[in-house]
Amino acid sequence: MYQEAYYPTHLHTYSFLITGGAGFIGANLVAYLLKHNAKKVRVLDNLATGFKHNIAEFESHPNFEFMQGDIRDLGTCKNAVAGMDFVLHQAALGSVPRSFNDPIATNEVNISGFLNMLLASRDAGVQRMVYAASSSTYGDSKALPKQEEIIGKPLSPYAITKYVNELYADNFSTHFDFHTVGLRYFNVFGPKQNVKGAYAAVIPLFFNAGIHNTNVTINGDGNQTRDFTFVENVVQANMKALFAEITQHEVINVAVGDRISVNDLWKNIKSITKSTVEAQHGESRIGDVRDSLADISKAKKILGYHPKYSVRDGLAITYDFFKQQAATNDK
C-alpha cells in the first residue's frame, strides 16, 4: 500500500498533525505520510477509541511524535497544532448506535472538540485543515447517488454532530477566511480497523467470523446497500484536499461510486475466507440509512480524486491483514 504519491509536491518541508491518529483512518494517514518523507507527523489521541498498537510501528521513526490528549480541551489542541503546517482532523466518536447510547459524549467530542480544533488551527496559522465529515449527513434523503448539495433530515445524534461540523467550518470560512475541507466518508474499511468492541464495523466483523468460521448476524434483511470505500482511497482524498486550490469551505464525497448489499458483502467475504457459515438475520439498527451511493464527480473535479481500489481489491488486501492478525492472536 501507499506506493503512489498523491500530492503535487514533496512533503519533507511540511509538518502534519493527525488528530485521532491512533485510530483506523488516522493510523493509515500516518503510514502514508512517513512513507513519503513528511518532515514531522504528530498524532494527538486520547486512546478512547484509538490504540497504541496501531501506531507502534512508527514510534521509533525520527519524524514521528505521539501526544496523548483530548480534543475537548482547548489548551491541548493549541499545544498540538503548534508548529504544524497542516491538520488532518480524524478524531471523533463514531458509530450511530453509540451516539444513541451516549449522545452527550458524542456531542462533546464531535462538536465541542471539533470547534476547539477549528479555533486552534485558525489561530496557529495552519495552512489547511481537512476534516472527517460523514455520509450520515445525508440522513433520510432517498435521492441516489448522494450529491453534496442535497441532504435530508439527520437520523441519529452522530449525523447531527457531523452536520454541525460542516456548519461551523463554513462559518469560519465566511467570517475568518479560514478555508477547510470536509470529506464525507462512505463506509471506510481496510487494515487497522478495529474488530473488537460493541461498535465494530461490519467488514472487520465479517472477516473475523469468516476466518474463524463463527456465526454471523446481519442487521435487517441485508438488502441495504453501501458504497464501501477502501482506506487508501480515503488517504488519497485527504492528501489531495490538503493541497487543492480552494477559496472557500468545501464538502466533498469520498467513496468509490458503486454500491453492494450487505448480503452480497457477506457472500464475498464468505468466499474469500472459505467459511461454511450461513448468515443469520437480526433486527434493523435504529438510525441506519437504507441505501447509500456517492456521486464522486465533485471530488474528481476539485481534488483530481480517482479511487484506485474497488471493493473487491480492498477486500483482498483487508483479508490478508485480518488473516495475519488472527494468526498472531491465536498463537
Q: What is the pLDDT of residues 258-287, one digit of tens each?
A: 999 999 999 999 999 999 989 999 988 888
**Distance from C-alpha of 135 to C-alpha of 251, rounded to nearest angstrom:** 11
pLDDT tens readout for residues 137-182 = 999 999 999 999 999 999 999 999 999 999 999 999 999 999 999 9
Give the helix ranges, DSSP H, for the chain. 24-35, 52-55, 74-81, 96-101, 103-107, 114-123, 157-176, 202-212, 231-243, 262-273, 297-303, 311-329
The cell numbers describing 233, all together, are 482511497
Q: Could you report the per-residue pLDDT of 196-247, keeping only the tens digit for each?
A: 766 678 999 999 999 999 998 998 999 999 999 999 999 999 999 999 999 9
Q: Can you give the pTM of this predicted structure?
A: 0.94
Peptide bond into 145 cis (omega under 30): yes
Question: Which single residue is written with the C-alpha cell 497544532?
Answer: 81
11-186+229-255 has which CATH code? 3.40.50.720
Contact of 88 with 238, CB cutoff 8 Å: yes
Question: Does the pLDDT value for residue 86 go beyond 90?
Answer: yes
Q: Are strands 15-19 and 40-45 parallel, antiparallel or unpaired?
A: parallel
Instruction: For residues 254 and 270, give the distance between their C-alpha atoms in angstroms, rounded to a whole number.
Output: 27
Residue 95 has pLDDT above 90, yes or no: no
Which cell numbers hold the place of 70? 483530548
Beta 188-189 vs 250-254: how paired, if at all? Answer: unpaired
User: For residue 255, with 0-12 CB atoms within 10 Å meaning exposed, 13-18 middle and 19 or more buried, which class applies?
Assistant: buried
| pLDDT number for residue 198 | 66
Backbone φ, ψ for residue 41 (5° rounding): -125, 110
Structure confidence at residue 299 as a pLDDT band (50, 70, 90): very high
Nearest to 76 by CA among 108, 119, 127: 119
Are the C-beta atoms of 224 and 96 separated by less than 8 Å? no
Question: Is the C-alpha dihedral spanning 8, 14, 19, 23 positive or negative?
Answer: positive
Domain residue spans in the chain? 11-186+229-255
Query: Residue 21 is inside which H or E element, if any?
Result: none
Mean pLDDT for the stretch of residues 24-46:
97
Quote the distance between the C-alpha of residue 287 and its chain's center: 19
Instruction: Give the catalytic positions in this structure.
Output: 158
Burial class of residue 263 in the structure, from the number of CB atoms within 10 Å of its CB (0-12 exposed, 13-18 middle, 19+ buried): middle
